[in-house]
């Protein structure tokens, strides 16, 4: 369930965003062997647009017993519990950077 009035778009074709803001990997190109960075755009009603940079990376997690229900990024690490999917947003001055822009109708 999400906000149908807000439309999310990812600049990376291998990652999509649902109406609730959840990020999903699509296809074989969505590898997290290296950190992935892309721009996320949220368009709201009345021409408001917000943009932020999202970085996805695998991070080390505590022992598997502490994270037995946590998704870990791939089938091998999911079984071993060695990694977990981390989501980081680009920060500026310790605060999330969101830019609001007006979109011209034409």
- Determine, yes or no, domain membership for 73: no
HSE at residue 29, side-chain half, CA atoms within 13 A, is 6
- Determine, yes or no, domain membership for 81: no
- Determine, yes or no, domain membership for 45: yes
How far is C-alpha 83 from the geometric centre of its chain's CA atoms?
Answer: 17
- Determine, yes or no, domain membership for 72: no
What the block records as the tokens of 60 is 């080390």
| pTM for the model | 0.50
Query: Average pLDDT for residues 91-95, to the nearest whole number?
Result: 38
Q: Is 94 left (phi over 0), alpha (psi -120 to 50) or beta?
A: left
The answer to whether residue 86 scores a pLDDT higher than 90 is no
- Determine, yes or no, domain membership for 37: yes
- Determine, yes or no, domain membership for 96: yes
Per-residue pLDDT tens for 37-51?
999 998 887 778 889
Give the model's confidence band at 12: pLDDT under 50 very low, under 70 low, under 90 confident, else very high.
very high
- Determine, yes or no, domain membership for 1: no
Q: Which domain holds residue 15?
A: 7-58+86-102
Q: How many domains does the chain contain in total?
A: 1
Q: What 8-state DSSP symbol labels residue 76?
A: H
């Amino acid at each position: 369930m999400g906000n149908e009035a807000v439309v999310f778009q990812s600049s990376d074709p291998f990652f999509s965003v649902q109406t609730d803001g959840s990020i999903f990997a699509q296809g074989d190109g969505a590898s997290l062997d290296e950190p992935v960075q892309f721009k996320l755009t949220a368009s709201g009603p009345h021409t408001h647009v917000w943009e932020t940079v999202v970085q996805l990376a695998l991070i080390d997690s505590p022992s598997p017993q502490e994270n037995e229900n946590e998704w870990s990024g791939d089938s091998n690490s999911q079984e071993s519990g060695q990694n977990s999917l981390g989501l980081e947003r680009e920060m500026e001055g310790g605060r999330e950077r969101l830019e609001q822009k007006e979109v011209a109708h034409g």
